[in-house]
Amino acid sequence: MTMNNYAKARAHTNIALVKYWGKRNAALKLPTTNSLSLTLDQFYTDTSVQFDDHLTSDQVTLNNHRLDEPAARRVTDFLNIVRNQAGITTKAIVKTTNNVPTAAGLASSASGFAALAAAASKASGLTLNQRELSRLARRGSGSATRSIDGGFVEWHKGIGDRTSFATQVAPADYWDLNVIAILVNQQPKKMSSSEGMQLSQTTSPYYHEWEKLCQRDLKKLKIAIKNRNFNDLGTIAEENAMRMHALTLSAAPDFCYFDADSLKAMRLVHQLRESGIPCYFTMDAGPNVKVLVEPEHRESVVSTLQAAFGPDHIVVAAPGPGVQYFR
Ligand code: 2P0
């Protein structure tokens, strides 16, 4: 091969403030709605890709353990998309280290496929711009589309593969905010996001309303970001998250990502707010709760949450950067 066939990249997770919950094209991972997220500094994935002519199959390790089917299959399928674009057939050694609890609702697939897209495309000799890289990451996992950029990022649903990518709304240093993650449960979830969103989309009577509301929430959120209006940002994020979870409760069969500690965390946030401390929660497809707060109130929220859940279960994050390459 003529190219530099090794590359290593880091990508951070993102937390959606207006969420992605449904696909209009499953194969291309084209979403039903636009979504808007904040990339986080504390949770990230490092991935290296080495294409090697001597290999007869892809070899994939996650946190130093060899991945078996079907997890390795998802990586191989993704590499096939990259190989196809680059016009090669060479197999690869993929080494991934997650600084994120895998499959616990902290979006490890977002940072995972963003890092893989960056490392694999570079190692394959492709030179992609941000949009092309974002489109490629989307093929691995929808939320990965938004982890190519840092700060506030909008994923445009687009009208097809070429127009469905993410762009930065504001960089990480635009607004000094914190996202406090409460790790209530680090077990892998029972209902994957892909299955969960499909079930919601096909069976919830509220799904169409969700699509309409997301459009409205997104417009309001962009204004809140523009004005750095924290109460508006938090209110929109909390409402949008609960509406997404209402789609799981109203599916048939119904399912739920909350556990008892998630409800406890949500109540604490309400109580903090009633006591005059502005903070808001959001939750993804897992039981962990993330609390949005401005730095001036961070310590009071952190100490309340630490007292309730134990210091080991609280991680304080801030806006994080987009994809970075290692030399
Ligand atoms: C989001 N989530 O916007 C939403 C909110 C979880 C809840 O995107 O099927 O792993 O690979 O595209 O990206 C998680 O779903 O799903 C997700 P696929 P993904 O962050």
Residue among 152, 165, 156 at smallest CA distance from 321: 152
**Which atom belonging to ligand 1 lies closest to the Cα atom of 138?**
12
| Measured CA distances, 64 to 47, 95, 260 (Å) | 12, 7, 33
| Residue nearest atom 4 in ligand 1 by C-alpha distance | 20
Burial of 70 per CB tally in 10 Å (0-12, 13-18, 19+)? exposed
Nearest-angstrom CA–CA distance, 273 and 130: 38
Which of 51-55, 187-191, 259-263 is the least confident region?
Answer: 187-191
**Which atom number of ligand 1 is nearest to the Cα of residue 110?**
13
Q: Is residue 262 scored above 90 in pLDDT?
A: yes
pLDDT at 324 over 90: yes
Whole-structure pTM value: 0.96
Q: Where residue 185 sits, what CATH number does that domain have? A: 3.30.230.10
CA of 193 to the centre of ligand 1 (A): 6
**Residues 3-18 pLDDT 10s:** 479 999 999 999 999 9
Please give the pLDDT value at position 71.
Answer: 82
Protein residue with its CA nearest to atom 11 in ligand 1? 141
Mean local confidence (pLDDT), 273-292: 96
Q: What is the end-to-end Cα distance of the chain in Å, rounded?
A: 20
142 lines ligand 1 (CB under 6 A): yes
> Residue 103 above 60 pLDDT?
no
Instruction: Show the domain range for 23.
Output: 1-327
> Could you give the number of structural domains in the chain?
1
Mean pLDDT of 241-270: 97
Distance in Å, CA 298 to ligand 1 centroid = 27
Give the distance (Å) from ligand 1 centre to CA of residue 284.
8
Give 59 Cα–ligand 1 centroid separation in angstroms.
Answer: 26
- Establish whether residue 146 lines the binding site of ligand 1, counting it when its CB lies within 6 angstroms of any ligand atom: no
| Mutate-to-test residue for ligand 1 from 38, 74, 143, 145, highest number of ligand atoms within 8 A of CB | 143
How far is CA 1 from each of CA 50, 58, 82, 87, 125, rounded to the nearest angstrom? 12, 17, 15, 11, 10
The answer to whether the CB of 140 is under 6 A from ligand 1 is no
CA of 310 to the centre of ligand 1 (A): 28
Per-residue pLDDT, averaged over 272-299, amounts to 97
> What confidence category does residue 284 fall into, taking pLDDT thresholds of 50, 70 and 90?
very high
**The total number of residues written for the chain in this structure:** 327
CB 200 within 8 A of CB 214: no
Closest Cα to atom 8 of ligand 1: 143
Residue 247 CB: number of other CB atoms within 10 A?
Answer: 23
47 pLDDT more than 60: yes
Question: Is residue 181 over pLDDT 90?
Answer: yes
The Cα–Cα gap between 317 and 178 comes to 6
**For a pocket test of ligand 1, which of 98, 154, 193 has the largest count of ligand atoms closer than 8 A to its C-beta?**
193
Could you tell me if the CB of 288 is within 6 A of ligand 1? no
ipTM over 0.95: yes
Flag the least confident range among 122-126, 191-195, 219-223. Answer: 191-195
Ligand 1 atom with the shortest distance to the CA of 29: 12
Q: Please work out whether the CB of residue 284 comes within 6 Å of at least one atom of ligand 1.
A: yes
- The per-residue pLDDT for range 131-169, each reduced to its tens digit, is 999 999 999 999 999 999 999 999 999 999 999 999 999
232-253 pLDDT, tens per residue? 999 999 999 999 999 999 999 9
- pLDDT at residue number 1: 45
Q: Is the pLDDT of residue 2 over 50?
A: no
* Percent with pLDDT over 90 in the chain: 90
How confident is the model over 112-121, as a mean pLDDT?
A: 98
CA 303 to ligand 1 center in whole angstroms: 30
